[in-house]
């Protein structure tokens, strides 16, 4: 089962991280990580992924043992 990653950020550096994870999944079959969504204070969607909450929600999101 893939580890579900929540990226803190936006389309800049966060988008690069998401693209690297997706590239590894598609090109190399590396299914260790899966982008679940983003934490962002300003948007509702980043790079096609849902925003799961703002920076104030990080601690609550990380209580879910499935999220990394």
**How much is the pTM?**
0.92
Report yes or no on 23 lying in a domain: yes
Q: Which residues have a Cβ under 8 Å from the Cβ of 27 and sit 6 or more positions away?
A: none
Report yes or no on 68 lying in a domain: no
Report yes or no on 56 lying in a domain: yes
- Say if residue 1's pLDDT is above 90: no
Q: Which CA distances in Å does 42 have to 11, 19, 47, 61?
A: 11, 20, 13, 17
Report yes or no on 53 lying in a domain: yes
Report yes or no on 17 lying in a domain: yes
- Domain of 49? 3-61
Total number of domains in the chain: 1
pLDDT tens per residue, range 12-67: 999 999 999 999 999 999 999 999 999 999 999 999 999 999 999 999 999 999 99
What CATH number does the domain containing 25 carry? 3.40.50.20
pLDDT tens per residue, range 53-68: 999 999 999 999 999 9
């Amino acid at each position: 089962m893939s580890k579900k990653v929540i990226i803190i950020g936006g389309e800049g550096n966060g988008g690069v991280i998401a693209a690297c994870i997706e590239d590894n999944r598609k090109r190399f079959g590396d299914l260790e990580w899966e982008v679940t969504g983003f934490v962002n204070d300003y948007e509702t969607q980043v790079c096609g992924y849902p925003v799961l909450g703002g920076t104030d929600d990080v601690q609550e999101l990380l209580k879910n043992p499935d999220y990394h």
